[in-house]
């Protein structure tokens, strides 16, 4: 099959938006074709037949492949560093002062291949490791099993960690092979990786969290999906808690109770 028709593209685009919240404009027709072509050809189908196969799949295997193929999982260590610096210098002191039960919960809601949650946990561990009685953990969720599997193992190229502060590189990585390093078990065991679709109304939380990182994901959502997701974050954040989003994203102040603090970072300050 050497092409995708407009009708086939619309079917696939609408399915992606309905089930995963990701919106593609008409200019992305070529992207859909290039990322699914090999799969469609290997199955001996055209795109219409593939769509029927996708929606009728009972095991979830094809849906997982479909999402992996069309989602963008680009991330790296110390991305948008001003957020990590604010987290280290402002958020952590607030946590230490205000979390009376010493049970800190941070949610990385679109964790991709793990660089962001590991960075957060290194910052947390660096501060709390010498303090008694603190339970400081990160929940890291993503819908892609492929990137979650990479994240769980915590193996990265030596070059990819060069941007990290030297004390993090020395303290929290061990040699894996000639070209790779692995996050230490001490840090890996403090992160819970879970598969989760941000479009699901029921969040994977047992109680409200203190900090949510959801960066560079909502840019792919349309306004109604963004608004609904942010509201779920708000309802599941403790009083005084924080939300960090990507620098290419912003919250409409008329659509959220979160209060702006610095670019792409917000707080829950009003009492319900």
Q: What is the 8-class DSSP label of residue 137? A: E
**What does 153-169 look like in DSSP terms, one character per residue?**
HTEEETGGGTTS-HHHH
**What does 192-237 look like in DSSP terms, one character per residue?**
EEEE--TT-SS-S-SS-EEEEEE-SSGGGS-HHHHHHHHHHHHHTE
Beta pairing partners, 103: 135
Among residues 142, 215, 232, 267, the one annotated as catalytic is 142
What Å distances lie between residue 236 and 211, 216, 246, 249, CA to CA? 10, 20, 20, 20
Question: 35 catalytic, yes or no?
Answer: yes
Phi-psi domain of 80 (left: phi exceeds 0; alpha: psi -120 through 50; beta: other): left
d(CA 233, CA 216): 15
Question: 142 catalytic, yes or no?
Answer: yes
Residue 20, both tokens: 């995963």
d(CA 32, CA 154): 30
Torsion over CA: 138, 117, 109, 71 (sign):
negative
Among residues 2, 14, 35, 200, the one annotated as catalytic is 35
Residues with catalytic roles = 35, 142
């Amino acid at each position: 099959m050497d092409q995708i028709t407009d009708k086939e593209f619309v079917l696939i685009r609408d399915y992606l938006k309905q089930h995963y919240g990701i919106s593609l404009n008409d200019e992305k027709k070529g992207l859909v074709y290039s990322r699914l072509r090999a799969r469609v050809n290997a199955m001996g189908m055209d795109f219409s037949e593939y769509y029927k196969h996708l929606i009728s799949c009972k095991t979830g295997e094809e849906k997982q492949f479909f999402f992996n193929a069309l989602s963008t999982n680009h991330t790296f260590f110390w991305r948008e560093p001003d957020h990590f610096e604010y987290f280290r210098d402002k958020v952590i002191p607030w946590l230490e002062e205000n979390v009376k039960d010493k049970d800190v919960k941070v949610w990385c809601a679109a964790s991709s291949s793990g660089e962001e949650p590991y960075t957060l946990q290194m910052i947390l561990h660096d501060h709390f490791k010498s303090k008694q009685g603190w339970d400081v953990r990160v929940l890291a969720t993503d819908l892609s099993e492929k990137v979650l599997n990479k994240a769980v193992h915590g193996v990265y190229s030596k070059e990819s960690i060069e941007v990290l502060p030297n004390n993090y590189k020395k303290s929290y990585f061990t040699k894996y092979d000639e070209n790779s390093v692995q996050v230490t078990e001490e840090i890996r065991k403090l992160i819970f990786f879970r598969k989760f679709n941000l479009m699901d109304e029921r969040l994977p939380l047992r109680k409200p969290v203190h900090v949510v990182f959801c960066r560079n994901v909502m840019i792919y959502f349309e306004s109604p999906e963004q608004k609904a997701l942010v509201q779920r974050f708000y309802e599941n954040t403790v009083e005084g808690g924080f939300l960090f989003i990507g620098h290419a994203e912003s919250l409409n102040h008329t659509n959220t109770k979160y209060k702006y603090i610095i670019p792409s970072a917000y707080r829950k300050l009003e009492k319900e």
